[in-house]
Amino acid sequence: MPEKKRLGKGLGALIPEVMDESSETNELSLDLIKPNPYQPRREFDDEKLKELTVSIKEHGVLQAVVVSPDDDGKTFTLVAGERRCRAAKQAGLKTIPAIVKPVDRKTMLEIALIENLQREDLNPVDEAMAYKRLMKEYNYTQDELARRLGRSRPSIANSVRLLGLSKKVLHMLSKNEMTPGQVRPLLAIDDQQKQEEAAALIVKDGYTAREAEKLVTKLNRAGETKKEEDTRNKARLDPEHAELQLQMQRTLGTKVKIKPGSKGGSIEIYYYGDEDLERVVSKLLPEGL
């Protein structure tokens, strides 16, 4: 899977109130540090963790983790640096350099999300779920979240939209069996079983993202052809309008609906993906815009 574009700003630039590199560092017992309960990553790459463990054995922990003191005054909750903590334990260390700062729950989730996006990419499903959680629990808009995390609003929107896929397709995406580009066209298929059937075909035949979009367009057209056949028989269109609607569909190669009104009416033209939109526009405007 192609590597995603990483965040252009460091943690300190994005959340300066917590990630201040000039803060005092303490050596804390690893046994006193609890995992971040808001960690969006559900799986860690064993191979990369082994590489970090080897590095720590040779050079030590080069960057302090960030922890927040617990109410009991004895233990701490990890804010940033879970991979470093895990690798340090595997390397046999008993303590780890840490910056101690009180951090609220919202900021814990933000930092964990940003750190994963920067240093070891989250899978697309975990990333989307983390965005959704920030918006749901802390009332972020997509624009606010984009500014806070140093990303574009469309990238946030496209990520969250993936959660509309079936659980089976999301599982395939989280396991890197499919790329976001391959699964995104499946959002145009309402029936989840048909989504899964299309996903299986995309994986089996190794379709590119563009080929997946063409497949979905083809499947939707095939489904619409049958629906249109039934609709024509049931539609409240007079014979002239029904024939005109059918001719437009044949000409444009997509679903068209004529909706008569008391003083005129409207025409709906459907498209399935950006490429299909361009094709329809070229039919309507052969000389271009």
Active-site residues, by number, are: 82
Q: Evaluate whether 277 touches 270 at the Cβ level (below 8 Å).
A: no
Q: Evaluate whether 142 touches 135 at the Cβ level (below 8 Å).
A: yes
The count of other CB atoms within 10 Å of the CB of residue 190 is 10
Secondary structure (DSSP) of 221-284: HHHHHHHHHHHHHH----HHHHHHHHHHHHHHTS-EEEEEETTEEEEEE---SHHHHHHHHHHH
| Tokens read off for 107 | 């900021």
Tell me the three state secondary structure of residue 153. helix
- Going edge to edge, which strands form the sheet with 95-100? 26-29, 95-100, 65-69, 76-80, 33-34
Is beta strand 65-69 parallel, antiparallel or unpaired with respect to 76-80? antiparallel
Beta bridge partners of 261: 264
Beta carbons within 8 Å of 223's beta carbon, 6+ residues apart: 194
Q: Per-residue b/e over 157-170, b at no fewer than 16 CB within 10 Å? A: eebbebeebbeebb
Nearest C-alpha neighbor of 110 from the set 134, 141, 93, 90:
134
